Structures are given as C-alpha cells and as structure tokens.
Chains A and B, each alone.
Chain A
Amino acid sequence: MLSIAIGLFAGIAVLALYKGMMKSRVRTAIDAEVGHLQLHDRNFKKDYSPEFVITNGDKILNLITSLPEIKMAAPRSITNGMLATATGSAGVQINGVFPDLEYEASQLKKKIIEGNEFDSTKKNEIMIGKKLATKMKLKTGSKLVLTFTDTSGNMVAGAFRVAAVYQSDNGPLDERNVYVTLNDLNDLLNTGNAFHEIVVLLKNDEDIKIVQQKLKQVCPLLTIETWKEISPETDLLVNTTNQYSYIIMIIIMFALAFGIINTMLMAILERTREIGMMVALGTNKLKIFLLVLLETFFLTLAGTPIGILTGWLLTRYYNIHGLNLSGMGREMMSSFGFNAMIYPEFPADKLTGVLLIVIVTALLSCLFPAIKALKMQPVEALRR
C-alpha cells in the first residue's frame, strides 16, 4: 500500500513539477518575450532589413487595440547590428521601443537588476542584458557604440550609454537583445515614426487563434504569428516534456512494480501455510489467483487516495510558496529559458492516465506472486 502511495505521490510530484515548469516557460515566453501574437511586414523576417516597416502601422495599431480580446499592443523597431566597446564587440538585436508600452509588453522594467528605467529627458540610452554586460564588461553608465545599416543600406552608428542592466529567465535572449527608445533607433534608421513589429498581448490565452484569424482578415499583407510559430522551440519543449513526463512516470512505475512484487511475494511467503491450508481444504487455483489479484487491487485502492492526497498537498504547498530551484543554478535554469522559482501545478488533466498506469502496473506486478502462489503444493506449504 505504501509503495503504491509513494509511487503515485512521486508520479504526481514529477508531473506537477513538469507542468509548473512548462507553464512557467510558456508564461515567460508570452508575457516577457514574444507576446501572444506578433505582426510583421511579410518580408521583414527574411533578413530583418529595416526598410520593411509595417505600412500604416499607427492605423493598424489602433485597430488592434480596439479589439475586445486585446489586453495591449506595443510597437517595436528592430534591426540587427554590432555593439562595440573599447574592449570588444558583439552581434545584437536592437529593439527600439516605447518604454511605457514595453514595460508592460515584455515586463522590461521588472527585469532591471541594475540602473534605472529610460529617462525621457535623455537621449541615446540603452538597456542591456546581464549576460551581455558581463561578456562585454559593461555596467550602468558605460558607453558603447551600435552600428547597423539604415533603410538606404548605409552604415550608421550611434553612441549609447547604458541606463540599466536587465536579467530575464532566458539567458540566451538577454545576451542577444538590447533595448533603446524607438525614437532614438528610428532617427538612425531613418524610418520616421514607422516600426517593424507589433507585439500583442491578449486577455485570454484561449483567444489566440480567433484573434489571429481576425487580424489576418483585416491585415492580409502582414505576417501574423502566434507565440508557437515565433518560438517553436518553446512549443517543442512543452510537447516533448509532456512525453518525457510520461516516460519518467513509467520509470517510476517500473520501480513501483518491484515494490509491489516484493510486497506481494512477502505477503504470500508469510502466508504459505495459510494458502497451503486453503488449497488443502478445497480452494481452487482460480480462487487463490483471484485472492492475490484482489488483495493487490485493494492495496492499490487503499494506497491511491493516500498517494493522490499527499501529492496534492505537496503540489498545493509549492504552488502557493514556489519551489526555489536556484540551488540547482539560476544560470543553468535561465540558459534553458526557465525561471528558478517553479510553481508546480497538480496534474488533474493527467490523473486518469496516471491512475490507469498505476492500476495496470499493480495488477501486472502481482501476476508473478500470484503464479508463485498457484504453484504452491499444499503438502509443502503445510510443512512450513
């Protein structure tokens, strides 16, 4: 019974942890990285050429924000360029943003770990990720130069001062993305008030397909992608982790099977005389087989609520208080795009599957002890 409870508890704990991690990863991807939807000019993503701005961007932006499902939409000017300091250089994606909108769209303000938010009175301020700052030995107040091509293909460069260093849950993104104000970037790109990207956040995750369809109808010339299309690695990670969690569950069940076999074998060995006596008195083999089977089934039945309850309680506790995995290495977690604080979630959707696996495992595991019981000779058994 205890092994059933422990097996179920371990299975639920693993699934809850995975569910929490995946949910956190998806939330990070949507709320802090790519949003629910992004709109671009059809040619923009081919090589991020700055001339492919969203035509009638303001009009489209207004149209999007007027939709009832939309929580907010933020424009971005984007180009790829070179960040250079006196000691070295690195390739970066330069995001020109409206600070107030971006603070909400990608929670940029919350990610600041050093320095201050953009100062509207100052020009050419830049926010860089911690990983890039470490690599380029930059800190707040440091000067750097961004070099890229403008819409006419001319090389342009601008000197920027680091206003803040930010850190998100995604190390690789922090290393690649820098943020400047949209006006500063557009001045250099020579794109006026235009922008290359609109990032859209929805009120409900479930509305994503509906809104995508709506936007495709009103903006037929733009590419409208969901977070799954923009960040396929996240979607892949979620799907494969789902499958992995079942594999891990099966491994746990394999261990559980040994526990059940051991328990039932012990139960049978301890009761050799009793079983021998039952056979001697006239209990047929089918009944002995059913006895072991039913005993296992009832043990499973008794262990199941204990396993589910303890699994639920643990999950509930960590769902409220969070499970801090920074001990495992925040850097390592963020290199995979995960927050070090995980909020495991009870896998109610997978409970039926888990229960089925547990019951099947328990019943399969008791076959060996049951066969052992069947092979028992009453004379031998009674002698013990």
Chain B
Amino acid sequence: MNTVIDAHNISKVYNPKTIPVYAVNNVHLHLERGEFTALVGPSGSGKTTLLNMIGGLDKPDEGNIYINGLDITKLSPNQLIDFRLKNIGFVFQSFNLIPVLTAKENVEFIMQLQKKNKEEREMRVQTLFKEIGLEDKLNERPSKLSGGQQQRVAVARALASKPQFVLADEPTANLDSTSASNLLDIMAKLNKEENITFLFSTHDQRVIDRARRVVTLVDGRIVKDTATVSTKHEDEGILK
C-alpha cells in the first residue's frame, strides 16, 4: 500500500488574536490508497474543517498536508485549484449539482475542465452511470432526480476525473435509508473494484458501520482511530 494522504500536526484556529478557537488541533492523519475511512464526531468537532484542509479548500494555520508526497499547504490558490481538479473528488452534503445541466453534463463538466476529448468523456460517463445505476437518467436535470439519485450523480462526478481520493462531507445526511444504503453500496463497490480511497465525514451510523476505519474527532483532536470492518457487509462480500 502507498500513502495518499499524510497530514502532519495540522491545526486550524479561528479568532487567533481574541479568543482562539481550535477547530482542528494538532491532528495527524495518515491514509493509504484504497482506504474506506469515516471521520466521525459531534457537531463542531472539526470534521468538515479537516476535510476542507485535506481537500485544499482551506489552509491549516500550522502543520503540513502531503498528498502523494506533495505538500499542498505550499501551493498557491491557483495551483491548488489545478491540484484539486487532477487529484481530488468531492461529494457534498447537499449534492451541489449544477441545476441547469443534465446529469450527464454535470459529470462531464469535470472532464471538460480537464480537457478530455468527447470520446473519452462519453466512455467514462457510460461507465460511471452504469456503476451508479442511472443509465436511464443521463439526460435528466437534477430537479427531476430524487435526493438519492442526485447524490449518486454527485459521486459519479467526483469519480469522473479519476481522482487519487474522494472526500465526502456528510454524503448521506440528506438521504433516506434506502438511498443512503444504495449510495454506500456504490461507493463501497468502487472502493473495492477501483481501489479508490474514500474519506467521509459523517454522523450517520450506517456509514460508520460500513467503514473499514473510523477516526473520531472531539474538539478538533483525534481521540480514537481504529480500523474496523463491518461484519455485516463483510458477510455480504461487499467490502472485502
């Protein structure tokens, strides 16, 4: 296995000059390729802040984050944009699909930014939509899709660029149990079959149950980091 994410003693502090509040406090996190990790903790524990920093959306006040050996804290904003495009897939809590584009166009959008040719885009879209089981919804706009379907499209979009890893911020928070379960099945399958690294922030016990590793944050600090295997799904042969 090789290291994808290596966060070294990172801290993020708000109001440093008045009443400092540590959103993330001296966190060290190491993720190998192919991990399926859940970042858990109560609200305000720093899960999203940590994800944002690993995703290059926010900068730590202290520490360094290495992605495949590259310290992203040293990159300029423009370099970070380019880095995100090539290396990271994002899944947001509220889907964040572009409403005026169809499901297919939303997924193609990333590949267009990457200047992939039409043929390549077309092939990837077909593959991804098959994976997420929405081959018949290619030309539907997000407003015509259910929450679960929208989030599946968001996963397809996150994977379209063939990223090093996918960061998902509360991906099941707005989904019903069936949709959440379907989504988790898809992500687990992609993780297993394509060896894509997933890091979630979540409150959802269903996600925690399916994760192989659970990192617990409290008040910006990692209080527990344990590799767990969901026996339920292990039995079903999904994760192993």
Contact = CB atoms under 8 A, between A and B. Distances in A.
A378 B55 CA distance: 11
B82 A280 contact: no
A282 B57 contact: no
A280 B98 contact: no
Contact of A284 (B58, B78, B110, B161): B78
Given A284-B78, A284-B82, A285-B78, A277 B96 contact: yes
Contact of B57 (A273, A280, A285): A280
A274 B142 CA distance: 13
Interface of A is mostly: helix
Nearest to A274: B98
A287 B55 CA distance: 20
Contacts of A382: 57, 92, 96
Interface string A273-312: 1100111111111010000000000000000000000000
B86 A274 contact: no
A282 B113 contact: yes
Contacts, number: 47
A379 interface: yes
Contacts of B84: 280-282
A282 B82 contact: yes
A285 B78 CA distance: 8
A279 B96 contact: no
B81 A274 contact: no
A284 B55 CA distance: 16
Contacts of B113: 281-283, 287
Contacts of B52: 379
Interface string A258-275: 000000000000000110
B110 A280 contact: no
Given A379-B52, A379-B57, A282 B96 contact: no
B86 A379 contact: no
B54 to A, nearest CB: 12
B110 A378 contact: no
A82 B79 CA distance: 90
With a 10 A CB-CB cut-off, give which of B52, B81, B98, B157 has the most chain A CB atoms. B81
Given A273-B96, A274-B96, A281 B57 contact: no
A379 B58 contact: yes
With a 10 A CB-CB cut-off, give which of B82, B86, B92 has the most chain A CB atoms. B92
A281 B110 contact: yes
A282 B86 contact: yes
A282 B81 CA distance: 5
Given A277-B92, A379-B58, A282 B110 contact: yes
A291 to B, nearest CB: 11
B200 interface: no
A299 B151 CA distance: 31
Contacts of A379: 52, 57-58
B41 to A, nearest CB: 18
B85 interface: yes
Contacts of A274: 96, 98-99
A280 B90 contact: yes
With a 10 A CB-CB cut-off, give which of A273, A285, A379 has the most chain B CB atoms. A379
Nearest to A277: B96
A274 B109 CA distance: 13
Given A273-B96, A379-B57, A382-B96, A281 B82 contact: no
Interface in B95-145: 96, 98-99, 109-110, 113-114
Contact of A285 (B55, B81, B96, B109): B81
Contacts of A279: 81
A280 B80 CA distance: 9
Contacts of B110: 281-282
Contacts of B85: 281-283
A285 B76 CA distance: 13
A278 B86 CA distance: 14
Contacts of A283: 81, 85, 113
Nearest to B77: A285
Nearest to B96: A277
Nearest to B59: A379
With a 10 A CB-CB cut-off, give which of B57, B82, B94, B110 has the most chain A CB atoms. B57
18 contacts: A273-B94, A274-B99, A277-B90, A277-B98, A280-B57, A280-B90, A281-B84, A281-B85, A281-B90, A281-B157, A282-B110, A282-B113, A282-B161, A283-B81, A283-B85, A284-B82, A287-B113, A382-B92
Interface of A: 273-274, 277-285, 287, 378-379, 382
Interface of B: 52, 55, 57-58, 78, 81-82, 84-86, 90, 92, 94, 96, 98-99, 109-110, 113-114, 157, 161
Given A277-B90, A285-B81, 7 more contacts: A279-B81, A280-B57, A281-B84, A282-B86, A283-B81, A287-B113, A379-B58
